[in-house]
Amino acid sequence: MRKKKRNKICLISSSGGHYEQLKMLASLEKENDVFWVTEKVNYTSNADYYLYQTGMRDKLFFVKMLLNLLKSIKIWFTEKPDYVITTGAMVVLPMAFLAKIMGRKLVYIETYARVRGGTRSGKLMYKFADLFIIQWEPLKEVYPDAVYGGSIY
């Protein structure tokens, strides 16, 4: 009897609320091989990998994004994920683009905090995600082809 292949899933997000939402998907670990990626911050998050925290207003944004890209490449070739699932924000961009370049599936879940008017990272990922999920129906105005999945909580 052949054993069913388990999918390898990268769950990646920025720290804080994005990571807390992503943790709601922990049940995926039952039937898949999952690894977690988030930002290195001053509190414990139990992720497998950490990237540098940054944002558009950070003076070292481009340096940190380059370092995050290099770290993401290393993580990618170590783990070889089939899927990348994310709730955002900027820290996920290198891994998301690697998923697209490498022909893997990218799933983006727009943050629960946005009821109207999507996020900057959401608007960018909407163009690239294989599956784009919203948690509030009014966001259909911003993301007409998104799938309404309801609350992740």
- Beginning with the edge strand found earlier in the chain, give each strand of the sheet holding 33-39 in spatial order: 49-51, 33-39, 8-13, 83-88, 105-109, 131-134, 147-148
**131: helix, coil or strand?**
strand
* Domain presence at residue 52: yes
> CATH number for the domain including 138?
3.40.50.2000
pTM of the model: 0.92
pLDDT number for residue 2: 66
* Domain presence at residue 2: no
Q: What distance in Å separates the CA atoms of residue 77 and residue 151, rounded to the nearest whole number?
A: 33
* Domain presence at residue 132: yes
Range of the domain at 66: 8-148
* Domain presence at residue 1: no
Is the separation of the CB atoms in 140 and 134 below 8 Å?
yes
pLDDT band at 46 (very low <50, low <70, confident <90, very high): confident
Query: How many domains are contained in the chain?
Result: 1
Residue 78 class from Cβ within 10 Å (0-12 exposed, 13-18 middle, 19+ buried)? Answer: exposed
* Domain presence at residue 48: yes
The answer, yes or no, to whether residue 126 has pLDDT greater than 90, is: yes
Mean pLDDT check: name the lowest of 1-5, 24-28, 60-64.
Answer: 1-5
* Domain presence at residue 153: no
* Domain presence at residue 128: yes
Which helix (DSSP H) or strand (DSSP E) does residue 96 occupy? helix 93-101
The answer, yes or no, to whether residue 41 has pLDDT greater than 90, is: no
* Domain presence at residue 86: yes
Residue in 36, 116, 126 with CA at minimum distance from that of residue 135: 116
Indicate the average pLDDT of the chain: 93
